[in-house]
Amino acid sequence: MIQKRKMESIIAIVPFLMATVSFATSANASEHEGGSDASVMKREPDGSVSKKEFMKHHEWMFDQNDKNHNAKLEPDEMRNLHKMVSKMHGRFEQEYGQKK
């Protein structure tokens, strides 16, 4: 009897958990596609990026690397920023390739 109740509880909980995971995944995907996440620049249909989006993204990068929150980047923070930029450029090249 106890086993049957446990199984019924599990069966009742599983759809809820699946719906929660599905919602979280779709919300995360829509942020990246729509560009509401500052870590991703929103592109226009032609692939261009507006100055507003460009500045929003780079302000986010600055804030991510200003670890001591003194509104400036120290040499070690700049090194970390350059590593971040290098990784981003690598992903861009993989996605868009180099135009000749």
C-alpha–C-alpha distance, residues 49 and 12, integer Å: 46
Number of neighbouring beta carbons within 10 Å of residue 57: 19
- Tell me the two tokens of residue 72: 């400036």
CB 49 within 8 A of CB 41: yes
Number of domains comprising the chain: 2
| Mean predicted lDDT score pLDDT of the chain | 78
| Cα-based angle 27, 34, 19 (whole degrees, multiple of 5) | 15
* Residue 56 and residue 8 share a domain: no
CB 35 within 8 A of CB 42: yes
* Residue 100 and residue 56 share a domain: yes
* Residue 46 and residue 24 share a domain: no
Contacts by 45-53 with C-beta closer than 8 Å and gap 24+?
Answer: 47/96
* Residue 2 and residue 23 share a domain: yes
pLDDT category at 58 given cuts 50, 70, 90 is very high
pLDDT at 18 over 80: no
What is the extent of the structural domain holding 86? 42-100
pTM, 2 dp = 0.55
pLDDT at 19 over 60: no
- Tell me the two tokens of residue 82: 């350059």
